[in-house]
């Protein structure tokens, strides 16, 4: 069953008069899509986070500009972009300017691997999840670069913390996904989603818990926001940044958080699929295939909201405790999870083959 | 204080820590979730202004009699003497009828700390703290209030009544 | 093969403008990685010469100035001065005024502790508690505004009583607030007390032994958290505190968690005192005799202290018989408490500065005066 939107789009491209135009437009439109959509979503996300954190804290949040304050983030963006772009005197100017780009680009790049609906994926790589995580982890280099080049002690400490944190948390993050991969037998995200007749959360609750914790740490959100811990390091690695460069860091943070939510929904909550669509038969399949992008967006926003909710509840952990939490709790638990999953899947597949 | 500290094996301690932690975080998250749906306490300030209590000390006012338009001030300088930031500027002359007349009464609202000491010591009740509090200006010199800007016409003087159980007028 | 890396200590100037130094404290921190080698606090950025101002102003004129000594717990700064003047001048205070003083002082103690609670957790990274704490603080501020006319700088105490009697229905409002507030403390405790992240940040961090407390003359909740059961309200009773029944919470280890727990318990005790005071308050005047604004007190000197939210707040007053004080010296608790800071911070992590310094509840205007 084909997705109607994808079908219309393919027909449109194919009906173009000559071949080069087809190739150019066929590449350009998805690229523009993956660049603009996350950015536009970010404006929504910033507003939603501020509103939600205010609700948690018994406040109202931004509510004056537009319906419910929706345009507040546009005003803020305008304000940030109009600010002077300051580069401090002793900063390493090349790295200083390169760092925000290096933080921002991987965040956007991973959207090319992300299926947002049935057949709605830019590149269906067969090692997508692997590529996804390796590209996403490039962000850390950008953060270290920003911390180093700023020539500011707070920034440097923020950068160092970011790297230490990323090294510790990448391991349980990857290991927690191994469980899902074992169940699916494929590294392709599309395959992972399509095999989730029953959502993976019911089969891999522990893996989800570990994955969510590690991903929180990867995107530097409270309680793991050590690289930019406000009360300790002023603003961490982006202390010296202003104007457009700061905006890039800010956007990257939200894009990454959205990616977190997207990965959660893709790997554990059936991605674009309607809940229990295989039980509803044909209607369920149609719901999943045609309106997939809506379910995907709702699920992702739910996880984003959970991240904000956690931010409203928990204090920040300390560097050494962060490490000990990763190595003492998350790593053993994820290994245990792989062990159990491997045994069960092996037993099941073995039983079926004989 | 006698306390029995039970020895727990490290393995049990490990899982107990994990369980307690998750439970405490769950309780906290439930509380914050509850507040997400409860009414908010924010006052939407410029749209909705709160009710000021009767004793509110806002901007300072210099009182005139409503009936004949005469100032209540008798020029005794008591308010000048008790002003902690020493911001009241006052000038008086002796008129032809041998009565002291205040010719200049200036106060810098930016310096005034709204302590109401002056209102308390005024023997004739010629001063008042109004309920006006939005006194911000673009120009610093606009904060200096002269007699014309401080003027307020009232029916009876604003006498301070000490809470000494007597003198209830 | 081992390779020796040449490492250098890093010196960070924390403050005067830093998000979590509560005003304008400057800490010169020497770091080895994230571990603190040395801390040197630099104070004086908020000096307003409160003590010198007294020598130009008569007693009545000086009263609003002392509100600024400690802007979080205003009554605690007004009270010792009023006590000292009353002691030298032999001014009597009516019964009702004493009760009102106790109620307002305890309300401001809760105000101060709430502010501590919020900022302490904000320093630890929890953003929500400060909003909840300020919500309750706002309720107290509204009550005080109704009583005194001002939200922060009350200027409410007078020599020989208080400025004005309580408005109608105010006492019952205070009583209602107390009932409401006890429930709210329970809520904070659900949110904070057992949270594993919070506990790991504060447990066994910044332990202050009893001896160090005595040596440095620290006071208030910090002292009590280290296990010294001393409270000016009980051991050197001023006003009418000997009539109330309340406990003095004491910590066991003297770590950051104990300091937090002691303050939470103190809020409950304050509620207890307020409830008793509201029940017992007699009717009558609130000011024995209205003094003229240029009143004089005989020559002499006096030291009076009260239990401020942060410890013993004392005033040493020398009068030379005129209407202007010859010398006023404020003994402020934060100043004494802050001297321990370099000792405690040695060997802890950078993140612990916030936890420990936050738990000291230092208010910078009070340090610099």
Q: The complex's ipTM?
A: 0.80
pLDDT of A290 > 80? The answer is no
Is the minimum CB–CB distance between A332 and chain B shorter than 8 Å?
no
Choice between A3 and B25, residue whose per-residue pLDDT is larger: B25
Tens-digit pLDDT profile for residues A206-247: 888 888 888 888 888 878 887 777 667 777 788 888 888 888
Cβ atoms within 10 Å of C243's Cβ, excluding its own: 14
**Closest chain C C-alpha to A231 CA, distance in angstroms:** 5
Tens-digit pLDDT profile for residues C350-363: 878 888 888 888 88
Report yes or no on A280 lying in a domain: yes
Chain B residues touching residue C162 (CB < 8 angstroms): 163
pLDDT of B169 > 50? The answer is no
Report yes or no on A73 lying in a domain: no
Q: Which of C12, C127, C195 sits opposite A153 (nearest CB)?
A: C12
Q: Which of C125, C127, C191 sits opposite A229 (nearest CB)?
A: C125
* Cβ pairs A/B, distance under 8 A: 37
**Closest chain B C-alpha to A281 CA, distance in angstroms:** 36
Residue of A nearest to C358 (CA): A231
Chain B residues touching residue A56 (CB < 8 angstroms): 32-33, 35-36
* CATH 1.10.645.10 boundaries in chain C: 48-361
Per-residue pLDDT of chain C (369 residues; tens, 9 = 90+): 677 777 778 888 887 887 777 778 888 888 887 788 888 888 888 888 888 888 888 888 888 888 888 888 888 888 888 888 888 888 888 888 888 888 998 888 898 899 888 888 888 888 888 888 888 888 889 888 888 888 888 888 888 888 888 888 888 888 889 889 988 888 888 888 888 888 888 888 888 888 888 888 888 888 888 888 888 888 888 888 888 888 888 888 888 888 888 988 888 888 988 988 888 888 888 887 777 777 888 888 889 888 888 888 889 989 888 888 888 888 888 888 888 888 888 888 887 888 888 888 888 888 887
Q: Which of C64, C146, C155 sits opposite B53 (nearest CB)?
A: C146
Report yes or no on A5 lying in a domain: no
Choice between A295 and A281, residue whose per-residue pLDDT is larger: A295
Is the minimum CB–CB distance between B39 and chain C shorter than 8 Å?
no
- Residue A171, domain extent: 80-353
CATH superfamily of the domain spanning C48-361: Cytochrome-c3 Hydrogenase, chain B (1.10.645.10)
Mean pLDDT of B75-95: 84
Report yes or no on A131 lying in a domain: yes
Report yes or no on A3 lying in a domain: no
Q: Which of C123, C131, C197 sits opposite A314 (nearest CB)?
A: C197
Residue of A nearest to B30 (CA): A313
Are A314 and C10 a contacting pair at CB < 8 A?
no
All domains in chain B, ordered by first residue: 60-154 (3.30.70.3270)
pLDDT of B5 > 70? The answer is no
Mean pLDDT of B68-92: 83
Are B84 and C61 a contacting pair at CB < 8 A?
yes
Are C196 and B115 a contacting pair at CB < 8 A?
no
Tokens of A330: 């998350």
pLDDT of B2 > 60? The answer is no
Is the minimum CB–CB distance between A83 and chain B shorter than 8 Å?
no
Q: Which of A55, A57, A313 sits opposite B29 (nearest CB)?
A: A313
Q: Give how many domains chain A has, as a whole number.
A: 1
Mean pLDDT of B139-155: 83
Tens-digit pLDDT profile for residues A55-76: 888 888 888 887 888 888 888 8
- HSE-CB at A291 with a 13 A cutoff on CA atoms is 12
pLDDT of B3 > 70? The answer is no
Choice between A47 and B159, residue whose per-residue pLDDT is larger: A47
Q: Which residue has the tokens 């067969």?
A: A126
Q: Which of A154, A223, A320 sits opposite C125 (nearest CB)?
A: A223
Are B41 and A58 a contacting pair at CB < 8 A?
yes
Tens-digit pLDDT profile for residues C301-336: 889 888 888 888 889 989 888 888 888 888 888 888
Q: Which of C125, C131, C349 sits opposite A319 (nearest CB)?
A: C349
Sheet hosting strand B144-145, strand order edge to edge: B88-94, B100-108, B144-145
Average pLDDT, chain B: 81
Mean pLDDT of B135-162: 82
Report yes or no on A105 lying in a domain: yes
Choice between A134 and B98, residue whose per-residue pLDDT is larger: A134
Are A58 and B44 a contacting pair at CB < 8 A?
no
**Closest chain B C-alpha to A298 CA, distance in angstroms:** 19
Report yes or no on A267 lying in a domain: yes
For an interface test with C, which of A148, A154, A158, A318 has the most C Cβ atoms less than 10 Å from its Cβ?
Answer: A318
In angstroms, the CA B40 to CA C242 distance is 41
Chain C residues touching residue A232 (CB < 8 angstroms): 20, 350-351, 353-354
Q: What pLDDT sits at residue C242?
A: 84
Q: What pLDDT sits at residue B45?
A: 84
Tens-digit pLDDT profile for residues A126-185: 888 888 888 888 888 888 888 888 888 888 888 888 888 888 888 888 888 888 888 888
Residue of B nearest to C190 (CA): B28
Is the minimum CB–CB distance between B42 and chain A shorter than 8 Å?
yes
**The 3-state secondary structure of chain A, one letter per residue:** CCCHHHHHHHHHHHCCCCHHHHHHHHHHHHHHHHHHHHHHHHHHHHHHHHHHHHHHCCCCCCCCCCHHHCCHHHHHHHHHHCCCCCCCCCCCHHHHHHHHHHHHHHHHHHHHHCCCECCECCCCCCCHHHHHHHHHCCHHHHHHHHHHHCCCHHHHHHHHHHHHHHHHHHHHHHHHHHHHHHHHCCCCHHHHHHCCCCCHHHHCHHHHHHHHHHHHHHCCCCCCCHHHCHHHHCCHHHCCCCHHHHHHHHHHHHHHHHHHHHHHHHHHCCCCCCCCCCCCCHHHHHHHHHCHHHHHHHHHHHHHHHHHHHHCCCCCCCHHHHHHHHHHHHHHHHHHHHHHHHHHHHHHHHHHHC
């Amino acid at each position: 069953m084909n997705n109607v939107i994808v079908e219309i789009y393919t027909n449109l491209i194919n009906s173009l008069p000559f071949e080069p135009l087809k190739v150019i437009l066929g590449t350009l439109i998805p690229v523009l899509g993956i660049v603009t959509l996350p950015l536009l979503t970010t404006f929504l996300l910033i507003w939603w986070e501020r509103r939600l954190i205010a609700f948690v804290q018994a406040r109202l949040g931004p509510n004056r500009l537009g319906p419910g304050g929706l345009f507040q983030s546009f005003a803020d963006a305008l304000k940030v972009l109009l600010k002077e772009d300051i580069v401090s005197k002793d900063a390493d100017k090349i790295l200083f300017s390169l760092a925000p780009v290096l933080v921002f680009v991987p965040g956007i790049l991973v959207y090319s691997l992300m299926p947002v609906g049935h057949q709605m994926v830019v590149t269906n790589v067969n090692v997508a999840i692997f590529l996804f995580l390796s590209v996403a982890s490039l962000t850390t280099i950008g953060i270290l670069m920003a911390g180093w080049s700023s020539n500011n002690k707070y920034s440097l400490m923020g950068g160092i913390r970011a790297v230490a944190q990323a090294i510790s948390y990448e391991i349980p993050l990857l290991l927690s996904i191994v469980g899902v991969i074992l169940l699916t037998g494929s590294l392709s995200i599309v395959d992972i989603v399509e095999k989730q007749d029953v959502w993976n959360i019911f089969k891999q609750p522990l893996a989800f818990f570990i994955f969510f914790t590690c991903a929180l740490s990867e995107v530097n959100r409270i309680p793991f926001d050590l690289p930019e811990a406000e009360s300790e390091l002023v603003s961490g690695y982006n202390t010296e940044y202003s104007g457009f460069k700061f905006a890039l860091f800010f956007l990257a943070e939200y894009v990454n958080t959205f990616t977190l939510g997207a990965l959660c929904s893709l790997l554990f909550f059936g991605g674009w699929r309607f809940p229990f669509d295989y039980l509803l038969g044909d209607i369920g399949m149609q719901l999943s295939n045609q309106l997939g992008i809506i379910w995907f967006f709702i699920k992702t926003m739910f996880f984003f909201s959970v991240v904000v909710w956690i931010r409203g509840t928990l204090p920040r952990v300390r560097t050494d405790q962060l490490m000990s939490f990763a190595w003492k709790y998350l790593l053993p638990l994820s290994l245990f999870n792989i062990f159990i999953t491997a045994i069960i899947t092996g037993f099941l597949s073995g039983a079926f083959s004989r | 204080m006698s306390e029995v500290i039970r020895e727990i094996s490290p393995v049990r301690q490990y899982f107990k820590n994990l369980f307690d932690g998750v439970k405490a975080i769950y309780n906290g998250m439930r509380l914050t979730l509850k507040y997400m749906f409860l009414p908010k306490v924010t006052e939407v300030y410029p749209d909705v202004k709160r009710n000021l209590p009767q004793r509110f000390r806002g901007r300072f006012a210099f009182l005139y009699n409503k009936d004949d338009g005469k100032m209540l001030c008798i020029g005794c300088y008591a308010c000048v003497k008790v002003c902690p930031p020493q911001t009241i500027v006052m000038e008086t002359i002796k008129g032809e009828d041998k009565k002291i007349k205040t010719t200049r009464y200036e106060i810098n609202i930016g310096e005034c700390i709204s302590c109401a000491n002056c209102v308390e010591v005024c023997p004739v009740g010629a001063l008042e703290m109004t309920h006006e509090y939005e006194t911000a200006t673009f120009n610093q010199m606009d904060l200096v209030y002269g007699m014309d800007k401080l003027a307020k016409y009232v029916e009876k003087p604003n006498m301070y009544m000490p809470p000494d159980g007597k003198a209830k007028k | 093969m081992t390779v020796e890396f040449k490492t250098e200590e890093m010196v960070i100037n924390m403050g005067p403008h830093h998000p979590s130094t509560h005003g304008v404290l400057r800490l010169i921190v020497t770091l080895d990685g994230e571990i603190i080698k040395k801390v040197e606090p630099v104070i004086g950025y908020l000096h307003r010469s409160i003590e010198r101002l007294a020598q130009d102003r008569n007693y009545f004129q000086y009263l609003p100035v002392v509100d600024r000594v400690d802007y979080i717990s205003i009554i605690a700064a007004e009270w010792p001065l009023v006590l000292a003047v009353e002691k030298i001048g032999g001014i009597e205070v009516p019964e009702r005024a004493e009760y009102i003083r106790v109620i307002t002082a305890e309300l401001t103690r809760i105000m101060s502790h709430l502010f501590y609670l919020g900022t302490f957790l904000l320093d630890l990274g929890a953003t929500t508690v400060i909003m909840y704490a300020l919500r309750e603080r706002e309720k107290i501020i509204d009550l005080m505004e109704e009583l005194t006319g001002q939200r922060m700088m009350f200027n409410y105490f007078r020599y020989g009583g208080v400025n004005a009697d309580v408005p109608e229905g105010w006492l019952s409002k205070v009583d209602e607030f107390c009932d409401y507030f006890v429930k709210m403390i329970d809520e904070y405790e659900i949110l904070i007390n057992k949270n594993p992240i919070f506990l790991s940040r504060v447990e066994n961090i910044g332990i202050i032994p009893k001896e160090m407390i005595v040596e440095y003359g620290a006071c208030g909740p910090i002292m009590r958290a280290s296990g010294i059961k001393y409270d000016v309200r009980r051991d050197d009773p001023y006003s009418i505190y000997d009539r109330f029944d309340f406990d003095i919470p004491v910590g066991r280890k003297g770590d950051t968690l104990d300091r937090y727990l002691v303050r939470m318990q103190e809020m409950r005790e304050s509620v207890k005192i307020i409830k008793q005071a509201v029940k017992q308050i007699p009717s009558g005047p609130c000011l024995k005799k209205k003094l003229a604004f240029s009143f004089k007190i005989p020559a002499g000197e006096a030291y009076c202290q009260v239990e401020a939210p942060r410890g013993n707040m004392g005033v040493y007053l020398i009068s030379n018989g005129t209407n202007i004080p010859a010398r006023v010296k404020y003994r402020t608790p934060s100043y004494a408490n802050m001297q321990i800071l370099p000792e405690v911070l040695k060997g802890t992590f950078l993140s612990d500065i916030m936890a420990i310094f936050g738990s000291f509840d230092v208010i910078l205007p009070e340090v610099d005066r």
